[in-house]
Amino acid sequence: MNPNPLRNSTGREVRHLCRTGAWTRPTPGAALGFVQANLVVVPQDWAFDFLLFCQRNPKPCPLLDVTDPGDPQPRQVAPGADLRTDLPKYRVYRDGQLSETRTDLCDLWRDDLVAFVIGCSFTFENALLSAGIPVRHIEEGKNVPMYRTQRLCQPAGRFSGPMVVSMRPMTPEQAIRATAICARFPRAHGTPIHLGASQTLGIADLNQPDYGDAVTIGADEIPVFWACGVTPQAVAVASKVPFLVTHEPGHMFLTDLRDSDLEGE
Amino acid sequence: MNPNPLRNSTGREVRHLCRTGAWTRPTPGAALGFVQANLVVVPQDWAFDFLLFCQRNPKPCPLLDVTDPGDPQPRQVAPGADLRTDLPKYRVYRDGQLSETRTDLCDLWRDDLVAFVIGCSFTFENALLSAGIPVRHIEEGKNVPMYRTQRLCQPAGRFSGPMVVSMRPMTPEQAIRATAICARFPRAHGTPIHLGASQTLGIADLNQPDYGDAVTIGADEIPVFWACGVTPQAVAVASKVPFLVTHEPGHMFLTDLRDSDLEGE
């Protein structure tokens, strides 16, 4: 797989390229070492319920920043950024259905919208790679495979629905090391939620992910599952949320934080 | 100092004694090993702002549980508990002023109240004691000294105001060990926010705490400051919140969690 051409850019530089429309592609490997993030935007009327949902479901939804109503600037993680323009691609959900994909939110933005910036697995994947633990979908040049599970999130107000997980195959010994490494990153989904028996999560076929791409699983490997930041999208559908905006999976928001900023405290 | 007579009780047993009115005294040392917690209750109209305040200020306000509006039961940390009756003593703030102290909230409770259960320093104090690090106010049989600082919290909506800190004197070597131990407990205020120069925080006289009691500081010791769960009370005053209920300082809510449940993930 070719490295991302934005590999040596800063988070700010990637945001600028997105803002000008010069970059609309996936962000894995971009601005290596900078924290990438999931985005969820809801109207203020739904913001308490969603904030509570994140508080009750910190593994799929570890919060990095929440904006004031109407403010598109995530002041804690990327001062000066504009969440309306600075992601490569967005998804708009209306009444619980994916309604459109677009490259900016300018004409959709409203004074009552609240944006949630949520930690992403790319942070711990960088740490796994640094530790010599292979990450299959990166080796194979694919998106990570993601699955809607039968495990339900803790409901909060009008939000309820299934947890989405991402899966990385590895040997049991690698899974143990990966668990220890990911424990350092509770704000990037933290430790796995399950390993081994995919049917326990209600996943019928690992070769048919609900989001992303299937990857090769070696004979000596087990599937290891992490809570995933795409969960709010599945929950938006299950909860028939009237209006909710997210990033396009794999097309993340680049913050100014460094991966090491998410370690522990 | 005599050990707390409820030292060997469970969290549930202490709650029952509070509920029946048999226990209205401070809780340090009660149900040793069970997580004690700060309480903040606000009307639903203020709940988003306060939840955002906690999200932006995780060191003074590490959230353990948030109830649904009107529900007095903290289902995640103490199923079956009743936050209206299960603390030994409460404070009611009206229009930013301490208006009364009482032993239950029964006739104050409303369908729109949301309760926030917030981690407490007792958790890391147990860990310090287990590691042989002395905790002065416990040695001297006092409440921990707490100070309103000039360090401002990150504002959120209508909430803004000063951070309150608790102080424990120790040698620099002990402060280093204490920092490493407290890093394991991000949901119990985590690492100190400052050590040494109390004037940096705007504290004029360590012998005159704003809450709790002054303690002895040895010649070889430095003051070590932790963000404190009394912060919402100072913020309620600074923000002139119309209606807010808290625990009486030192009179905490006993959960079913064990201290070890708060370690890391």
Contact A191 B265 (CB under 8 A): yes
Buried b / exposed e across A104-126, counting CB within 10 Å, b at 16+? bbeeebeeebbbbbbbbbbbbbb
Least confident of A215-219, B162-166, B194-198: B194-198
**Which pTM does this prediction carry?**
0.85
The string of pLDDT tens digits covering residues A94-123 is 999 999 999 999 999 999 999 999 999 999
Please report, in angstroms and rounded to a whole number, the separation of the first and last CA atoms in chain A. 34
User: Residue A42's CB: how many other CB atoms inside 10 A?
Assistant: 27
Backbone angles phi, psi at A88, to 5 degrees: -70, -35
**How is residue A81 written in tokens?**
């950024």
Interface residues of A toward B, Cβ cutoff 8 Å, are 44, 47-48, 51-52, 55-56, 63, 66, 68, 76, 154, 156-157, 183, 186, 190-191, 264-265
pLDDT of residue A28: 87
Q: Which CATH architecture has domain A122-231?
A: 2-Layer Sandwich (3.30)
Considering only CB atoms, which chain A residues are within 8 Å of B66? Answer: 52, 55-56
Q: Which residue has the higher pLDDT, A201 or A141?
A: A201
Per the CB < 8 A criterion, the answer to whether A67 and A83 are in contact is yes
CA of B141, closest CA in chain A: separation in Å?
Answer: 31
Tell me: pLDDT of A1 over 60.
Answer: no
| Percent of chain B residues past pLDDT 90, beyond the cut | 86
**Structure tokens given for A229:** 């930041």
* pLDDT higher than 60, residue B136: yes
Q: What is the rounded CA–CA span in Å between residue B215 and residue B195?
A: 16
Minimum-distance CB partner of B186 among A156, A157, A265: A265
Parts of chain B belonging to CATH 3.40.1640.10: 11-120+239-262
**Interface mutation target, options B114, B261, B265, chain A, most CBs of A under 10 Å:** B265
How many Å apart are CA B248 and CA B28, to the nearest integer? 13
Question: What is the number of alpha carbons within 13 Å of residue A128 lying toward its C-beta?
Answer: 27
Work out the percent of chain A whose per-residue pLDDT is above 70: 98
- Residue B210 and residue B23: Cα distance in Å, rounded? 25
Amino acid at B258: R
Hey, CA dihedral for B12, B14, B20, B24, is it positive or negative?
Answer: negative
What is the reported pLDDT for B203? Answer: 96
More confident of the two residues A51 and A260? A51
Q: What is the CB neighbour count within 10 angstroms for residue A95?
A: 12
pLDDT for the residue numbered B28: 87
pLDDT average, residue stretch B227-253:
95
> Which chain A residues contact residue B79 at CB under 8 A?
none
Interface contact flag, A265 B191, Cβ < 8 Å: yes
CATH topology of domain A11-120+237-262: PSTPO5379-like (3.40.1640)
The answer to whether the Cβ–Cβ distance between B56 and A66 falls below 8 Å is yes
Nearest CB among A52, A186, A265 relative to B51 is that of A52
pLDDT confidence of residue B225: 96
Chain B hits for A183, CB-CB cut-off 8 Å, are 264-265
pLDDT, tens digit, for every residue of A191-225?
999 998 899 999 999 999 999 999 999 999 999 99
Three-state secondary structure call for residue A82: coil
Q: Directed axis angle between helix B44-56 and helix B231-238, to 10°?
A: 120
Distance CA A226, CA A60 (A): 8
Topology adopted by domain B11-120+239-262: PSTPO5379-like (3.40.1640)
pLDDT above 90 coverage of chain A, percent = 87
Q: Tell me the chain B residues in contact with residue A76 when contact means C-beta distances shorter than 8 Å.
A: 56, 154
Q: For helices A122-130 and A172-182, give the axis angle rounded to 10 degrees.
A: 120
Q: Which amino acid is at A114?
A: V
| Res A263: pLDDT | 83
Strands B97-102 and A146-152: unpaired
A55 contact residues in B (CB cutoff 8 A): 51, 55, 63, 66
pLDDT of residue A197: 86
User: What's residue A18's pLDDT?
Assistant: 97
Q: Give me the pLDDT at residue A264, please.
A: 61
pLDDT at residue A265 above 70? no
List all residues 6 or more positions away from A256 whose beta carbon is below 8 Å from its beta carbon.
Answer: A10, A11, A12, A34, A77, A78, A79, A81
CB A119 within 8 A of CB A37: yes
- Averaged confidence pLDDT in chain A: 94
CB atoms within 10 A of CB B108: 15
Task: Decide if B191 contacts B182 (C-beta within 8 A).
Answer: yes
Mean pLDDT, range A179-198, rounded to an integer:
91
Q: How many inter-chain contacts (A to B, CB under 8 Å) are there? A: 43
Q: For chain B, what is the mean pLDDT?
A: 94
- Residue A241 near residue A96 (C-beta atoms within 8 A): yes
How does DSSP assign A33-72, residue by residue?
TEEEEEEEEEEHHHHHHHHHHHHH-TTT--EEEEPPTT--
| Burial status of residue A80 (CB atoms within 10 A of its CB: 0-12, 13-18, 19 or more) | exposed
Contact call for A51 and B51, based on CB within 8 A: yes
Give the max Cα distance, chain A: 53
* pLDDT at residue A162 greater than cutoff 60: yes
CA dihedral A54, A56, A59, A63 (to 10 degrees): 30
Phi-psi region of A31 (alpha: psi -120 to 50; beta: other; left: phi over 0): left
Q: Which residues of B touch A156 (CB under 8 A)?
A: 68
Which residues of B touch chain A, with CB atoms under 8 Å apart? 44, 47-48, 51-52, 55-56, 63, 66, 68, 76, 154, 156-157, 183, 186, 190-191, 264-265
CA distance B116 to B47: 9
Distance from CA of B6 to the nearest CA of A (A): 31
Collect all residues of chain B within an 8 Å Cβ-Cβ radius of residue A261. Answer: none
Over residues B28-35, the mean pLDDT reads 91
Average pLDDT over residues B86-90: 98
State pLDDT tens for residues A29-79.
Answer: 899 999 999 999 999 999 999 999 999 999 999 999 999 999 999 999 999
| Interface mutation vs chain B, best among A52, A124, A185, A191, most B CBs within 10 Å | A52
- The residues of chain A that CATH labels 3.30.2040.10 are 122-231
Over residues A225-237, the pLDDT tens digits come to 999 999 999 999 9
From chain A, pick out residues whose CB is under 8 angstroms from the CB of B189.
none
Mean pLDDT, range B206-231, rounded to an integer:
95
Which residue in A48, A183, A191 is closest to B51 by CB distance? Answer: A48
Nearest-by-CA chain B residue for A44: B48
Q: Which of A16, A10, A17 is nearest to A32 (CA)?
A: A10
Nearest Cα of chain B lies from the Cα of A208 at a distance, in angstroms, of 30
Report pLDDT for B3.
Answer: 74
The alpha carbon of residue B38 is apart from the nearest alpha carbon of chain A, in Å, by 17
Cα–Cα distances in angstroms (integers) from residue B78 to residues A93, A191, B17, B66, in the given order: 36, 24, 15, 12
Q: Is the dihedral of CA B177, B191, B39, B34 positive or negative?
A: negative
What's the whole-number mean pLDDT along residues B29-36? 93
Q: Hey, which residues does B63 pair with through a beta bridge?
A: B118
State how far the Cα of B232 lies from the Cα of B47, in Å rounded to an integer: 13
Cα(A217)–Cα(A136) distance, rounded to whole angstroms? 8
Q: What is the mean pLDDT of residues A70-95?
A: 97
Question: Residue A2 pLDDT more than 70?
Answer: no
Given a cut of 90, whether residue B71 has pLDDT beyond it is yes
The CATH 3.40.1640.10 domain(s) of chain A lie at 11-120+237-262
When CB atoms are compared, the residue of B55, B157, B186 closest to A63 is B55
Residue of A52, A55, A186 lying closest to B265 (CB–CB): A186
SS3 call for B87? coil
What is B204-264 written as a DSSP string?
S-TTS-SBS------TT-EEEEEE-TTHHHHHHHHTT-SEEEEEPTT-PEEEEEEGGGGS-
pLDDT of residue B4: 85
Q: Residue B90: what pLDDT?
A: 98
Please give the pLDDT value at position B82. Answer: 98
What pLDDT, on a 0 to 100 scale, did the predictor assign at position A141?
A: 86
Kindly determine whether residue B68 and residue A157, on different chains, have CB atoms separated by under 8 Å. Answer: yes
Q: What is the CA radius of gyration of chain B?
A: 17
* Across B73-99, average pLDDT: 97
Q: How confident is the model at residue B265 (pLDDT cuts 50, 70, 90)?
A: low
